[in-house]
Amino acid sequence: MAAYIISDLLRKIIATLKENDVSEPEVSAERILSHITGLSRADLYSATDKIILDPEIHRAKAMMERRISGEPLAYIIGECAFYNIKLRIDNRVLVPRPETEILVDEAIKRLKDIRGKKKVADIGTGSGNIAISLVFNVSDLRVIATDINRSIIELAESNAILNGVSGKINFLVGELFEPLVDYRNKFDAVISNPPYIGIDEKDNLPIEVRKYEPTEALFAGDDGLSIIRKIIEQAPEYLKQGGFLAMEIGYKQGAEAKELMSSRFGGIKIIKDYVGRDRVVIGSL
């Protein structure tokens, strides 16, 4: 039976990923081998006396080939971290981005200023990353989270259970606000990371996005604003007076999103991401 020293296999996988122009090859190799062996990143490099045998070697190489093909690492591993929580991830949902943590940050700041019990609608919950992060970090908060597909909701529910917060989130199946007919004027906030990419931008996206991630979670009409428009139009019906709407947007959409919100909301702010691009729009009713 063939065997490798773990640290040697790690270096071999990194080299192969580099040869195939995989982005962040070290991160991919480390995550793959950590997933298979249970070792930490530091232990992988220092494991000069630890052996990995054929079955695990074959698993590692199969995962490496999937990464070379462009498949997102989170789908290969089946999990990812977001805002200090752990999530199960597969190709039913988008891989949560670091930029979405900016949306969560801004929502948490505003929700903590509201006294007593609070209620939030998370529209298009996907993996449940936003809803779970919010209830983890804001006391006396209940979230009603919606998504269009029962299978997606089941994944989000499993993530809420995984993180011990299932009792604080109610997951409902339906398009946008459709499942929330009994919650008019009930929410302190509506939060959403909607599809916001124009369909004509598809060919410019990285292969791991355009080939592997769900198109219905990415694209929203020719200009990428069709879902954003619907949320802006419908959200006031479900917000309490003084409640707020916060959405992630595309980096070219700040001015137009602000203009769209101006007829229904006040105090509108555009929050920039880590490289100074428009990323979140917030306004109050």
What CATH number has the domain bearing residue 92? 3.40.50.150
**C-alpha span between 109 and 112 (Å, rounded):** 5
Average pLDDT in the chain: 94
Say whether both 227 and 262 belong to one domain.
yes
Residue 38's domain is classified under what CATH number?
Answer: 1.10.8
Answer yes or no: are the C-beta atoms of 210 and 202 closer than 8 Å: yes
Percent of the chain clearing pLDDT 70 (strictly above): 99
pLDDT of 1 over the 50 cut = no
**C-alpha span between 235 and 238 (Å, rounded):** 5
The residue out of 36, 69, 102 marking a domain boundary is 69
Say whether both 139 and 267 belong to one domain.
yes
Tokens (6 digits) for 86: 């752990």
Domain that holds residue 29: 3-69
Mean pLDDT of 55-72: 94
Say whether both 46 and 130 belong to one domain.
no
The amino acid present at 143, given as its one-letter code, is V
Is pTM, for the whole model, over 0.85? yes
Say whether both 39 and 91 belong to one domain.
no
The gap between the terminal CA atoms of the chain, to the nearest Å, is 67
Mean pLDDT of 232-257: 96
Domains contained in the chain, number: 2
Mean pLDDT of 33-56: 85
Tell me the three state secondary structure of residue 144. strand
Say whether both 208 and 258 belong to one domain.
yes
Mean pLDDT of 171-182: 96
In which residue are the tokens 């298009």 written? 124
Say whether both 119 and 232 belong to one domain.
yes
The set of residues, in sequence order, having a beta carbon less than 8 Å from that of 258 and lying 6+ positions away, is 268, 270, 281
Q: Is the dihedral of CA 165, 169, 170, 172 positive or negative?
A: negative
Q: Is the dihedral of CA 159, 32, 30, 43 positive or negative?
A: positive
**pLDDT band of 2, cuts 50, 70, 90:** low
Q: Measured at the alpha carbon of residue 185, what is the angle toward residues 183 and 190, in degrees to the nearest 5?
A: 80
Domain presence at residue 76: no
Domain presence at residue 244: yes
Say whether both 176 and 57 belong to one domain.
no
Tell me the three state secondary structure of residue 50. coil
Say whether both 238 and 103 belong to one domain.
yes
Say whether both 105 and 174 belong to one domain.
yes
Domain presence at residue 75: no
